[in-house]
Chain A
Amino acid sequence: MSSRTAATRVDEFRAVVSKITDAAQIRPGDAGHYEVDGCVPEVVVEPSTAEQLQQVLSEAYTAGVTVVPLGGGAHKSAGNVPESYDVALSLTRLDHIIAHESADLTVTVEPGVRLADLQARLAEHGQFVPLDPPCDAAATIGGILSANAQGPLRHAYGTARDWLIGVHIVHADGSMSKSGGRVVKNVAGYDMHKLYVGSLGTLGIIAEATLKVSPLPRSEVTLALTCRSAAQASDLVLAAHDAGLALRAAEVLSPPAANAVLGNEAWSVIVRVAGEPGTVTRTRRELDAASAALGTKVDERDTPAVWSAWDVAFRPGVLSLHVSVLPSSVGEAMQVLDRRFAGAGARLSATLTAGVIRANLKPTREARAGALVDAARDVASRYGGGVVVEAAPPVLKHDIDVFGPLRPDFAIMKRLKEEFDPRRILSPGRFVGRL
């Protein structure tokens, strides 16, 4: 199809959709906000209700225009470069907390609800959603679910898939379906909602999500343990985990990361100790004893200060990597990565028990982005793992699949995408294998 026809299609779509909801030509000044990997769409549509969202997608399906859903844009660096991006579908006006059943420990939200706003509302009832991805205040629940974004709390609480119990999804043709429900235990029907977590909007658009929530801990302290090596830091975390100590989070930091977070350039471990007062006391005592035996230092730190510094240090940057290996390999892999990334100001932070190493890098002329990604993949594969590039310069992203080599189950994923989005209008090209 010629570009003229494509432009006409988008114009016609905008004309129709503007009768339904706000649909505007993107002004040059706003382009940056909607830009994804250097691609700027023609039009932004901002539905205010789930019905409008359905109508918008129905029109997009008819017109054959391609759509990328966006929340606050906090995770838009994820995924491959869109193959086509006609319309930015902004979900920020779908921002209602539909129901918080505090006694049932569930909350139902629209996708545009900001994480920070949700946490503030839940905190009034002594509860929270245990998702803490590094992100700015604009990050929305829809974006976090779509990107399967996660943070240090993963150590104790797992990921979004463990907390999402039901969704309403708007499909490529504008139809809506649900899976799961609002009860915490439910095995009726296939668990379709598992598929939507981390799918980057390539199967459908989340119109409503129900999550389990958790009680906030009674008391909490943050400790920083200064170590001599990555191996020692990882041994400490494994020992604490084995002892069943009450840790909500336990991150191993490389020296540059510790410098950014703690102002102390050394291999370090930061932990959130939480629970009933006696449990916290016991956990501190054991950590002190373990550290003394190893000759390492333990400091109590201000909880909000440390974790907000961590958050800022690990937001998606110029080049951000998510390395996944077995927990037992984390210490060694970090040591090797730290060496291979020399010169790129590499900050590494590992949620050791999940086998996740995050890396934020600043490529240079000497340490180019492509070479850094290759190095990370080389190291990860040596430990039986893989690397997902969570942010990278578009020029590099054009050349690589950010998800890495295809796996044997790719054929199933390809057929799944074909079933859900036969016309390929939903974030085409962004997912694994450029689906």
Chain B
Amino acid sequence: MSATTQPEADARPAEAVMRQVVRELERVLGRERVISTPEELIAYEFDGTMERGMPQAVVFPETTEHVSAAVRVAHQFDVPVIPRGAGTGLSGGAVAAVGGVVVALTRMKRVLEIDPVNRLAVVEPGVVNLDLSRAVAEYGLYYAPDPSSQRACTIGGNVAENAGGPHCLAYGATTNHVLGVELVLADGEVVWIGGRTRDVPGYDLTGAFVGSEGTLAIATKIVVRLMRLPESTRTLLAIFDAVDDASNAVSAIIAAGMLPSALEMMDRNIIAAVEPVIRAGFPLDAEAVLLIEVDGLEESTVEQAEAIDRICRDNKAREVRLAVAQPDRERLWAARKTSISALGRLYPNYYVLDGVVPRTKLVDVLRQTYAIAERYGLAVANVFHAGDGNLHPNLLFDERDPGATGRVLDAGTEIMRACVDAGGSITGEHGVGLEKRDFIGWIFSAADLAVMSHLKPAFKAGERYNPCKAFPTHKGCGEVSQARIQRTAAALGADIYV
């Protein structure tokens, strides 16, 4: 989506250098932990976006020492290092923008410790989000951040992106659930920030590190907070004949002093895509549905569910259904969490956006989203975290139509701009990555970015880690974004989650 002006030649390591790097990596890690042939590397060219970039080597460390050793090699030869989890990211964060060495952390997938009384766990970065919740379920605990990719995405990737999910409305995003991290710095040094106790003296380095998109260090151990599984959960499905009414119901719920654990909206196009697959009972003629969840003590969920039911009806809900039994609730959530991948039923291609607006601007920005899509001759399907104003418009298209991909990118840019103009942000949970680094100037001035740039020297990171990500184009990163135009959304993979 970015204009490009500078050549990439000076950023991508020369093949001759990389041959030495690979030899050295094989020596320190063992051949079985290094791949470098084009056939092997191709699986690591993409993440969940239209971005792409071919790494020159991928390593598969199994310990902190392996990570440190690999990073030392990269440091010695001055080549980029790109940390990577499951590759489900939606901003190009795990793409090797200018080549270099991808450090795939998927083999570091041990849950090292579970401390049920203190409600914490120590995990390696490659642990899959949902696997962690499963591992601690026997203690009546779970890990709260629940990105829709939670069956595949890793805790390390979640930490890098400060991942959210439907339930961060009430329980916060990843940053609110990480207590400490063991880091490998760009020169290979291993150091802990934060810790196991809630308070550690000094600057909140953990808070600064979470969401740094793999640009500061590699997390090799993570101390996470766990939460107690609620005694009772009630999920409501409210069906509306107008998107505006659904948006107004969202505002009314918040205004009434309630904070549900999740408050999600799906519009007509999403319903059309998902209902035939999941059969959750969404009426195909509805304009929008709200999925609202409350949890806590039985008495609390009963009282809150009744109040929310009333508010939805006051805001012209056609019908409100209540799901209490787990299978019924799970069917509703399956519809929500697979809704974007189901869009493939309607159109060959879709492009997922991630913007934030103040909750009070939802009605206005949603209208603009539909109008912008229409102006570009595109269909749009909205499924998003309405409770915290985090929009996910999906632009639907067929890349075989001449000019369609270009129109999608332009429409996406306009929608992002509408979010910013409403006082919002260019990303609520997917990160800036490659995809939005040229939009960051819309919300941060050069002075703001200059202050953020203090973090790299503090962490001794330089441009070693994930170069060309999260911040506007600098020298050597110019050609990076061109690739996205060539990439067809059809190849996005089987599942896209938001």
Contacts and interface: CB of A to CB of B under 8 A. Distances in A.
Interface of A: 101-106, 126-127, 158, 161-162, 169, 171, 175-179, 181-192, 194-195, 197-199, 203, 214-216, 218, 238, 241-246, 275-279, 281-283, 322, 324-328, 354-356, 384-386, 388, 403-404, 407-413, 415-416, 419-420, 431-432
B432 A326 contact: no
Contacts of A416: 203, 454-455, 458
Interface stretch (B79-87, B104-112, B204-212, B369-377): B204-212
24 contacts: A101-B360, A102-B255, A177-B447, A179-B452, A185-B385, A186-B356, A187-B425, A187-B427, A187-B428, A188-B425, A189-B440, A192-B452, A215-B257, A242-B140, A328-B115, A354-B198, A355-B118, A355-B197, A385-B197, A408-B192, A410-B202, A413-B203, A419-B457, A431-B202
A7 B357 CA distance: 51
Contacts of A242: 140, 228
Contacts of A403: 201-202
Nearest to B162: A187
Given A177-B451, A179-B452, A189-B440, A246 B117 contact: no
A177 B454 CA distance: 12
Contacts of A106: 358
- State the main secondary structure of chain A at its contact with B: mixed
A183 B356 contact: yes
B208 A409 contact: no
Contacts of A404: 201
A178 B356 contact: no
Counting from the closest, the 6 A-B pairs by CB-CB distance are: A194-B207, A215-B257, A278-B299, A419-B454, A324-B199, A403-B201
A86 B303 CA distance: 58
Contacts of B451: 169, 171, 177, 179, 192, 420
B431 A194 contact: no
A194 B202 CA distance: 11
B37 interface: no
A103 B452 contact: no
Interface residues of B, number: 85
A191 B162 contact: yes
A103 B254 contact: yes
B447 A175 contact: yes
B207 A161 contact: yes
B207 A278 contact: no
B200 to A, nearest CB: 7
A221 to B, nearest CB: 15
B211 A244 contact: no
B28 interface: no
Contacts of B50: none
A388 B198 CA distance: 13
A179 to B, nearest CB: 7
B230 to A, nearest CB: 6
A327 B458 CA distance: 32
Contacts of B231: 243-244
Given A162-B176, A176-B447, A186 B427 contact: yes
A103 B251 contact: yes
Contacts of A181: 423-425, 443
Contact of A412 (B205, B255, B296, B423): B205
A187 B211 contact: yes
Interface stretch (B149-157, B167-175, B404-412, B484-492): B167-175
A184 B171 CA distance: 12
Nearest to B168: A185
Contacts of A245: 297
A178 B444 contact: yes
Given A324-B199, A327-B119, A413-B203, 16 more contacts: A179-B444, A181-B423, A197-B204, A214-B259, A216-B257, A275-B297, A275-B300, A276-B304, A278-B299, A282-B297, A326-B196, A326-B197, A385-B197, A386-B197, A410-B202, A412-B205
Contact of A191 (B192, B197, B208): B208
A175 B447 CA distance: 8
A27 B436 CA distance: 54
Contacts of A198: 203-204
Interface in B176-228: 176, 191-193, 196-205, 207-208, 210-212, 228
Contacts of B199: 322, 324, 354-356, 386, 388
A189 B303 contact: no
Contacts of A244: 228, 230-231, 296-297
A192 B208 contact: yes
Given A177-B451, A328-B118, A183 B204 contact: no
Nearest to B232: A244
B450 interface: yes
Given A197-B204, A198-B204, A409-B205, A189 B449 contact: yes
Contacts of A409: 191-193, 202, 205
Interface in B385-435: 385, 388-390, 423-432
B299 A182 contact: no
B256 to A, nearest CB: 8
B15 interface: no
A189 B437 CA distance: 9
Interface in B259-309: 259, 296-300, 302-304
